[in-house]
Amino acid sequence: MDQHRHLMETLATLYAEMDQAYEEAARKNGFTCHGCEENCCRTLFYHHTLAEYLYLQEGLGQLSAETRRRLAGRAIEVRDRMHKTEAAGRPVSEMCPLNEDERCILYAHRPMICRLHGIPHRLQRPGGQSQVGPGCREFDRQCSLQPKALLDRTPLYTAMAQLERRVRALWDYRNKIKMTLAEMIATILSDDDGGPLAGMRNEIHRP
């Protein structure tokens, strides 16, 4: 579908803008996350956009059938362990299923928060409230608690919200989404070749 293809290309362009903004803020602060012991691939992130789900689905479709099978099994195992840990009220720390040999096997398709996490940031809320968020512990170790430059997430979040509205309108999709990457991967690969919204009828909802 031409319109869907255009929206995915728009997301790819937005991701490139995020990477550029991150790299510029990292350079200004003298920050690098190479060799970080506190691997953010173990951080519990939730993802909320249909656009990113569909883009991840495209990336998974580019992997070999054997890799998808291996990844599906790993994602299900991670998902189930996370659910048990959450149910027990313990902190969740599981390696992302996409991490193999300390590298993301779908790096070009990784979601927004994976691209922006780690550097102190500012965000202007729609109501006018301004919010400042901290960096990761590795940032604090390298750059102290006084960053030289904040990563402004406002235009990036705004562009993502606008794109998300267009994607949802195209697919007439109105449900809320709150899923980890393990849940997204397990959902997509459990209904492989089932179309763009494969598995989303049973997607994970959380308050």
Residue 207 lies in a domain: no
Model pTM above 0.85: yes
**pLDDT above 60 (res 115):** yes
User: Three-state DSSP class for 124?
Assistant: strand
> Tokens 């994607």 appear where?
167
Taken in order 171, 175, 180, 183, the sign of the CA dihedral is negative
Work out how many domains the chain is built from and give that number: 1
pLDDT in tens, 162-187: 999 999 999 999 999 999 999 999 99
Q: What is the pLDDT of residues 56-114, one digit of tens each?
A: 999 999 999 999 999 999 999 999 999 999 999 999 999 999 999 888 999 999 999 99
Provide the domain limits for residue 155: 2-202
- How far separated are the first and last CA of the chain, in Å rounded? 33
Of 33-37, 69-73, 80-84, 148-152, minimum mean pLDDT range = 33-37
